[in-house]
Structure 1
Amino acid sequence: MSVLIAYCTCPDAASADVMARALVAERLAACVSEMPGVRSTYRWEGRVEHGNEVLLMIKTTREQLDALTARVRALHPYELPELIAVEAVGGLAPYLDWVVEQTRDDD
């Protein structure tokens, strides 16, 4: 089973907290780290925008990615939320096993 780290930016701490709690409670993520103070620069609707955001680092598995993506789209206040997942190619084996265990839907 592949462990992934998904990155998602949120406009504020409140929306980041709602998303983090829901993803963990629903076993779509084992852990979500919230990193405030991210400054993003991006092009949107033909203009260059700047904004302060909270970055979520979501630890999940490849098997949960589709469900996690759907949940992020449902919860996120942005019209087009950022969600990028990368594979964890290494790490502490017991931690990676824990991520897999916490995202299993076998309760």
Structure 2
Amino acid sequence: MDWLGSRCPLPGYSRTSALICLLILPAAAFLVYPMLRTLSLQLHSAITSTYASGAHSVIFVNCPNEQIARDIARAILEKKLAASVNILPKASSLYFWKGEIEEASEILLLIKTKTSKVPLLSSYIRLVHPFEIPEVFSLAMDQGDVQYLKWLEESMEEGRAREPSCASC
């Protein structure tokens, strides 16, 4: 432990301070990495006018019925947490719940959003979803149509929502 205090380049810092620095800095870097990665992807996209892989994500959420799915989708869009939500009817789900195999008909939401909004969107869904543990997971978009992705980006900005040019988007 003596080597740690003796190698500290800053005068007046004790071994304890140096040890704390060695423990806190890597933890802080780990916590801010997702935000820094997203910002660097956005900066790269803006400078090069190209799409940076991973800047957008698709989130999958199962809902117990169509009305709940519509309510959640509308709320997400109104809060600008996503640009688009597809509601896919009647998915058959089989899963373990409390040690038993369960079977249910569910409605699947496909939510398109910025990757940077995924944590906030996941938290919001947990608040409004009726399931004790809602199914919420995301996949980063590797590639996509540049015009669609630009529309996706613009749609989540305040006051700039507009329709995509095709009905199937």
TM-score range, shorter chain: over 0.9
| Contact 1:35/1:55 (<8 A) preserved | yes
Equivalent residue, structure 1, for 2:72: 19
1:91 aligns with 2:144: yes
Equivalent residue, structure 1, for 2:4: none
1:81 Cα deviation from its structure 2 partner:
0.2
Of residues 59, 67, 83, the one that matches 1:6 is 59
SS at match of 2:81: coil
RMSD of aligned C-alpha atoms? 1.4
In structure 2, C-alpha distance between the alignment counterparts of 1:97 and 1:104, rounded to whole Å? 11
1:106 Cα deviation from its structure 2 partner:
7.5
Q: Note the residue ranges of structure 2 that are not aligned, 5 or more in a row.
A: 1-41, 43-54, 161-169
AA aligned opposite 2:93: S
AA aligned opposite 1:102: S
What TM-score comes out, normalization by structure 1 length?
0.94
In structure 1, C-alpha distance between the alignment counterparts of 2:77 and 2:122, rounded to whole Å? 13
What TM-score comes out, normalization by structure 2 length?
0.61
Q: Deviations over 1:20-58 (max 9, x none)?
A: 000011000100000011000000100000100000000
SS at match of 1:56: strand
1:81 aligns with 2:134: yes
AA aligned opposite 1:17: R
Identity level (%): 32
Of residues 91, 95, 101, the one that matches 1:42 is 95
- Higher normalized helix content (fraction of residues): 2
Q: Note the residue ranges of structure 1 that are not aligned, 5 or more in a row.
A: none
In structure 1, C-alpha distance between the alignment counterparts of 2:93 and 2:154, rounded to whole Å? 33
1:97 Cα deviation from its structure 2 partner:
1.2
- Higher normalized strand content (fraction of residues): 1
1:101 Cα deviation from its structure 2 partner:
1.5
| Contact 1:64/1:103 (<8 A) preserved | no
